[in-house]
Structure 1
Amino acid sequence: MTVLDVPGVANFRDVGGIAVGNSRVRDGVLFRSGQLAGLTDAGSEFLHGSVHHIVDLRDDMEVSSEPSAIRDIPTTRLPLFVGSVASFFTENAGLTEMYRHLVEQAGPKLVDAMRIIGSSPSTLVHCTVGKDRTGVTVALALSAVGADRDAVIDDYALTASLLPEERNRQVLAYMRSRNLDTPNAIELATASPAPVMRALLAAIDTEFGSAIGYLRAQGLSDAELEALGETLIG
């Protein structure tokens, strides 16, 4: 994986290079990031030269408050949560609960994301900070093509170190002002612990046999799985 400096976008990286058996994930076919509202002209130029399709996983409130600065790259919105992200903070849920909610409730949308990744020359998947919804989506895509599990988890865990410090300070200050600064809420806002993703993938294995089994159960066809592999592996 390669962290990229795309002006105006936080947590932008290319997951290419992750091992898949004796092969690897192709460079330049699957990118992940935070939201694109602050994208500069230089950042826009990079995206236009590198990305063919954008998958935006944010809910309506997030999109309204921070609309994407990109209008002319095909974009598919796949809001993964029923309701809003804010509800997880007010309910004091943790990352484990959030991720289980995603795989249990958002299966068809996760499958739609796999279809786009498999059918586009290059895809950018993003949410607001590129941590949770993006992390689960990318981990499933990589796992479905047989990517090395430790590398998949390392990619997920990398996010916490890439979140802008000023953004974290502002988020924590806001949470304190609303009496939401519980350990779970702080984890939701700022953390990407490797054990959480490892446990999620293990739970999927236990229930469905594998990430492939999960995606098949949600409606992804064998032909679409094959397309995903052909796009990502090289």
Structure 2
Amino acid sequence: MKNMKQWFLVALAASSFTYANAQGIEKKITLKENFKAERQANGDYKLSIPKGTYQMQQGRDKKELLASKSIVVYGDTLINSPKSERLYFMLTNNGDTTVITERKITVSGPSNFRDIGGIPTKDGKHVVWGQFYRADELSGLMESEFPYLNSLGIKQVYDLRSQDEVNSKKDHLPESMKWIHYPIFEEGNDAQMKAVMQKFMDGSMTKEAANELLIKANQDFATKNLPRFQVLVKQMLDADSPSLFHCTAGKDRTGFTSALILSVLNVDQETILDEYLMTNYYTYDKIQGGMDKMFGSAPVKIDKEVVTQLMMVDKAYLEAGLNEIIKKYGTMDNFIREGLKISDEQRLSYQKKYTY
């Protein structure tokens, strides 16, 4: 059992997501954005902008952005940029202003590292960029990328994995980032992992069982694991500097954390689900290869469809957790007050701080 568990953890950490087929993951953009900035391999930015006449300003932070001289652009634009710097772009057209930067943080190792800024709220505002980042495991980051990572401004990294997961693939971070081990599952009593391992060992794990496992995990997030999320979310909202939170695959523990932060900031449930499902899009290319190699070293025969189900995200997973919240608290607003222990006054201050 110990050898199997070690293999399973290493396999997850090494590949994060390594398999997809027609019956599994679909490469589909679920979070619709009219304005988009994508970082190119050489550091340049490709800006996708609806056709029109825009006054554009750019800078490395808000102060520099507002002070910069504007130029006129008329649609899609390519901007030269050093690989070591992150830039923000402010586009104004007929009095309407949009701020964009790269959502996907493209670095070595993680495939699901992204900024959850720029997302619209129910009252017509947007979540600020550069404050909350989510990711999968970060052992593959290269020191040559540290200047760019430092430009993101991240000061604290919350590692939501168990000690076993951490031991198998430790984060490799710049010195400017403080690593905080914050396991969501109680150490030494990881019931979800033990259940998965046992079913893998005896060959009884089916695709349907894997689906139910992840539904149950998200329900547990909203109930038995809630005290951990309660502290985590408030710590990040109270911080004066940007935070990064991640687990091994960056999809379940991380996805639920992202959903809670966005809920506090007044983002509607459908948009939260759309952001959650982007995991399948961002990881699609990476999960196409490597499964045969990975399973060639497996101690037992494992159904690839089962692993696919465990590696992907499905709308039903997060919905199960959110539905559990509504079942107990009636509304998300009540949950934020009673479950997360965030008063209406606190919540308004967070919205003022983190939306524009």
Range of TM-score over shorter length: 0.7 to 0.9
Secondary structure of 1:17's partner? coil
Which residue in 2 is equivalent to 1:187?
309
Secondary structure of 1:70's partner? coil
Which residue in 2 is equivalent to 1:60?
163
Cα distance between partner residues in 1 of 2:236 and 2:317: 24
Contact 1:94 1:185 in 2 (8 A): no
Q: Deviations over 1:3-62 (max 9, x none)?
A: 221233221111111111210111111111111111112433233221122111000001
Which residue in 2 is equivalent to 1:80?
184
Contact 2:222 2:321 in 1 (8 A): no
Contact 2:146 2:174 in 1 (8 A): no
Cα distance between partner residues in 2 of 1:47 and 1:71: 8
Contact 1:172 1:186 in 2 (8 A): no
Cα distance between partner residues in 1 of 2:296 and 2:338: 40
Which residue in 1 is equivalent to 2:62?
none
Relative to structure 2, which stretch is displaced further, 214-223 or 123-132?
A: 214-223
1:131 aligned residue (251, 275, 286): 251
Contact 2:215 2:316 in 1 (8 A): no
Which residue in 1 is equivalent to 2:127?
25
Which of structures 1 and 2 has the bigger CA Rg? Answer: 2
Q: 1:77 to 1:216 in 2, by over 3 A?
A: farther
Q: Return the offset for 1:217.
A: 3.3
What count of residue pairs does the alignment treat as equivalent? 233
Q: Return the offset for 1:180.
A: 4.4
Identical-residue share of aligned pairs (%):
22
Higher relative contact order, chain-length normalized (CA < 8 Å, sep 6+): 1
Instruction: Give the CA RMSD over aligned residues.
Output: 2.7
Relative to structure 2, which stretch is displaced further, 155-164 or 211-220?
A: 211-220
Q: Deviations over 1:152-200 (max 9, x none)?
A: 1111111123232267626972797534438555422x21112322343
Q: Deviations over 1:98-151 (max 9, x none)?
A: 111222222121012112221223111111110110001101111122102222
Cα distance between partner residues in 2 of 1:108 and 1:191: 26
Aligned pair 1:232/2:347, yes or no? no
Which residue in 1 is equivalent to 2:263?
143
Q: Deviations over 1:77-110 (max 9, x none)?
A: 2211133363242355521011112222221210
Cα distance between partner residues in 2 of 1:59 and 1:8: 19
Secondary structure of 1:104's partner? coil
Contact 2:113 2:134 in 1 (8 A): yes
Contact 1:160 1:191 in 2 (8 A): yes
Q: 1:8 to 1:94 in 2, by over 3 A?
A: same
TM-score, reference length from structure 2: 0.58
Contact 2:218 2:320 in 1 (8 A): no
Q: 1:41 to 1:96 in 2, by over 3 A?
A: same
Q: Which has the higher helix share?
A: 1
1:11 aligned residue (112, 115, 130): 112
2:237 aligned residue (118, 129, 153): 118
Cα distance between partner residues in 2 of 1:143 and 1:160: 21
TM-score, reference length from structure 1: 0.86
Q: 1:172 to 1:87 in 2, by over 3 A?
A: farther
Runs of 4+ more than 4 Å apart: 174-177, 182-185
Aligned pair 1:152/2:253, yes or no? no
Contact 1:13 1:33 in 2 (8 A): yes
Contact 1:5 1:12 in 2 (8 A): yes
Return 5+ residue gaps in structure 1 as ranges. Answer: none
Cα distance between partner residues in 1 of 2:277 and 2:331: 21
Which residue in 1 is equivalent to 2:335?
214
Cα distance between partner residues in 2 of 1:172 and 1:54: 29
Cα distance between partner residues in 2 of 1:165 and 1:199: 25
